[in-house]
Amino acid sequence: MERTEFETTGRVLDLGNETVFSSKASRNYTNWLPGVYLRHEATKNLVFRTSWSNSLARPSFSDTAFRSLVNNDDLEITRGNPNLKALESVNWDASVEYYLPSLGLLSAAVFHKEIKNFSYELEDPTPLVINGESYDLTTYANGSEGSITGLELAYQQQSVRCPRRSMALASWPTSPFWTARRRIRRVPARPCRSLASPIRSGTLG
């Protein structure tokens, strides 16, 4: 369970009456985040894992704060939205891991996430007129729902070198494949696919 208490204060410009007044927004909410995690050790070197879980990602403070960034050169305004909801996700994960005798690891994992209330930048189609100038207004809004499904393959190998100095070299190349779908206001759902480049890293110490 997670309890969130959010509050932001700022000043609001009333263009019609040409006045500025202080304003405050607050929101309190509680999220239950149950999860089930299973692990099965088939052999000494072969391990299966599966899980069902719920997770939460709050919007950044800069996206939700009572603030307006005004760019007079480009006639643009970026405004926070204190009514943004937190992203909620239901996650299904399954993986298999094989531990190599030579201090290595081979693994494959599949995942699926059902997401709602993701946030995105929204450009208001109606310009905001200030002192006779038309400004493009950008703010933040919540999308309705989305999903991500993917497969990740990984190989990890650690080899010890220079025993006298206890020096080790390790690398973790991975190749994730994923597909995602989102649904936002006034934009139909559209799929996107990506193949990430392998990631290789090394540590020496």
Domain coordinates in residue numbering, the chain:
33-204
pLDDT in tens, 148-173: 999 999 888 776 555 554 444 444 55
> Topology of domain 33-204, per CATH?
Maltoporin; Chain A (2.40.170)
User: How many angstroms from the chain centroid is the CA of residue 157?
Assistant: 29
* Spatial CA neighbour of 159 closest among 147, 167, 149, 151: 167
Q: How many CA atoms lie within 13 A of 5 on its CB side?
A: 0
**Pairwise CA distance, residues 198 & 107, whole Å:** 14
Model confidence at 196, pLDDT cuts 50, 70, 90, reads very low
- Burial label for 36, CB within 10 Å (0-12, 13-18, 19+), is exposed
Distance in Å from the first CA to the final CA of the chain: 40
Sign of CA dihedral 67, 59, 177, 97: positive
Q: Which long-range contacts (CB under 8 A, 24 or more apart) does 22-25 make?
A: 23/66, 24/66, 25/66, 25/82, 25/83
What is the pLDDT at residue 191?
37
Percent of the chain with pLDDT over 90: 31
pLDDT of 35 higher than 90: yes
Phi/psi at 180 (nearest 5 deg)?
A: -135, 155
Reply yes or no on whether the pLDDT at 194 is more than 60: no
Q: Which of 21-25, 50-54, 186-190 has the lowest mean pLDDT?
A: 186-190
What are the residues facing 178 on neighbouring strands?
A: 150, 194
Q: Which residues of 5-15 are buried (b: 16+ CB within 10 A; e: fewer)?
A: ebebeeeeeee
Contacts of 184 (CB under 8 A, 6+ apart): 120, 141, 143, 144
Q: Is the pTM of this model over 0.75?
A: no
| Residues 89-108, mean pLDDT to the nearest whole number | 92
Contact 51, 38 (CB under 8 A): yes
